[in-house]
Amino acid sequence: MKKYVHQRGSWIVALLMLFIASTAQTLSAATTACPSQYLNGVAPDILKASLAKSAHELCYDNFAVMHSGISRTPLWSAEHLTRESILDAKELKGRAAFHPESELPYNERAELSDYARSGFDRGHMAPSADMPNRSARQQCFTLANMIPQNHKLNTIVWEGIESAIRTLALNTGELYVITGPLYLGNNITRLNGRVLVPTHVYKLVFDPKQNRGAAYYVKNEDAEELQILSISELEELAGINFFPKLPASAKQLKLDLPKPKPYRSRSNY
């Protein structure tokens, strides 16, 4: 009898420890005030404590941002693209003005002066050409949606990726897209001693009809090479569970992503 009680107690302790470990693995619960931008209305889970610190969610008309007060950049920007929104965006002309995000604490946000004469572009994570109306386009020029991005990458490879995804959204009718920076390695620099410069940038695309996704993955440098990663591969690098309700088996399947084309070699989407 005593032996049974001991084993039962050990079993309960083991279950409790397993529960605590699994709970501690997720530092930021997948709740969101911007459910329309996420697959199944569920935001990504932040798995790394260093990323969860000083993270603030920002909801806009046509995209959502999880902003880091440590890097003063997005952890990610998320969009639910539809055929209708892309067609509306195509008809919208003009740009907007870059601006600091007034909803963020002053000491956690980027300022225009941080980017001035830095040699880096203010690189959109949620692109302005995705925005279907003037309000959304103005919103997407917030610095909360920007990273310091290599100019050649921004204007050639990255622009090609953005355009390819818009074309894919037109063809499929609906996509969920999550875009963000990665800071890999030990030699991370800051603009003006404040804004972290990413080493890599990704754009994760999920097609709900096929129930699979994949990510464009590029170095933030003067190069034109890119990789296509599965969701699970990107999650391991990022320390983020991008689709908490998606089975692990589905995360290993790669969506067939279109190859980006340089602007000069294609007609407008």
Q: Would 21 be classed as within a structural domain?
A: no
Q: What is the pTM of this model?
A: 0.87
Q: Which residues span the domain enclosing 200?
A: 30-265
Q: Over the chain, what is the mean pLDDT?
A: 89
Q: Would 15 be classed as within a structural domain?
A: no
Q: Would 213 be classed as within a structural domain?
A: yes
Q: Would 132 be classed as within a structural domain?
A: yes
Q: Would 50 be classed as within a structural domain?
A: yes
In angstroms, rounded to a whole number, what is the distance separating the alpha carbons of residues 269 and 267?
6
Residue 30: pLDDT band by 50, 70, 90 thresholds?
low
In angstroms, rounded to a whole number, what is the distance separating the alpha carbons of residues 64 and 108?
18
Let me know how long the chain is. Answer: 269
Predicted confidence (pLDDT) at residue 212 exceeds the cutoff of 50: yes
Contact 245, 222 (CB under 8 A): no
Predicted confidence (pLDDT) at residue 269 exceeds the cutoff of 60: no
- Looking at residue 202, which CATH number applies to its domain? 3.40.570.10
189-208: pLDDT as tens digits: 999 999 999 999 999 999 99
* Domains of the chain: total: 1
In angstroms, rounded to a whole number, what is the distance separating the alpha carbons of residues 200 and 219?
4
Q: Would 1 be classed as within a structural domain?
A: no
* CA-wise closest residue to 232 among 256, 218, 212, 208: 212
- Residue 204 backbone phi and psi in degrees, to 5: -95, 130
Q: Would 14 be classed as within a structural domain?
A: no
In the chain, pLDDT over 90 holds for what percent of residues?
A: 82
Mean pLDDT value across residues 227-236: 98
Predicted confidence (pLDDT) at residue 35 exceeds the cutoff of 50: yes
Q: Would 4 be classed as within a structural domain?
A: no
130-164: pLDDT as tens digits: 999 999 999 999 999 999 999 999 999 999 999 99
